Amino acid sequence: MMSSSQLQAFDIKDVPHGVREQFGDTPFGRGCLAAARLVEVGVRCVEVTLGGWDTHINNHEKHGELNKVLDMAMSALIDRLREKELLRHTVVLWGGEFGRTPAMNGLEGRDHWPHCYSVIFAGAGISGGAVYGKSDRHAAFPESNPVTPEDIAATIYDLMGLDSGMEITDRLDRKVHLSDGTPIREIYS
């Protein structure tokens, strides 16, 4: 891997300033630019992380700062993939590991809440602007069309052309499915 020509995608110093500016001059923005460039050179799986969302204190201020970074880089990544005609063949997923409590705690923070949260899909045949599922009025629990992490994984596999129920053998010689979920085909275009 270290001798791969694909490593050049990480070197963004030759990318025009205007393009770099679209992603934002942040580690996450530069990571999203590198991710787009990695997809352009054929890398099949890329992960970019933006930490700091675990806001048990001062939730609104911290999330406001993070959203500025996220919104700029996320929209630039989608735009770049679309411009390079890669979006229709690329699955893009934004999500966290769980949601946040519907009510603020005593420190103006929000704690861990696995019962209701959102993810964003783009590309690879996803219908732009589609919303699937709905929470109750407090954003505490799903009200309609609940989705599990297994369903999200199954959707990714399905968009990649893989049967999520396909049986594979792990390193301990156990038979397992790629995912026991159901693809969310209602969000496909």
Residue range 69-105, pLDDT digits in tens: 999 999 999 999 999 999 999 999 999 888 899 999 9
Residue 99: what are its φ and ψ, rounded to 5°?
Answer: -95, -170
| Predicted confidence (pLDDT) per residue in 145-179, tens digit | 999 999 999 999 999 999 988 999 999 999 999 99
CB atoms inside a 10 Å sphere around CB 159:
22
Distance of alpha carbon 35 from alpha carbon 33, whole angstroms? 5
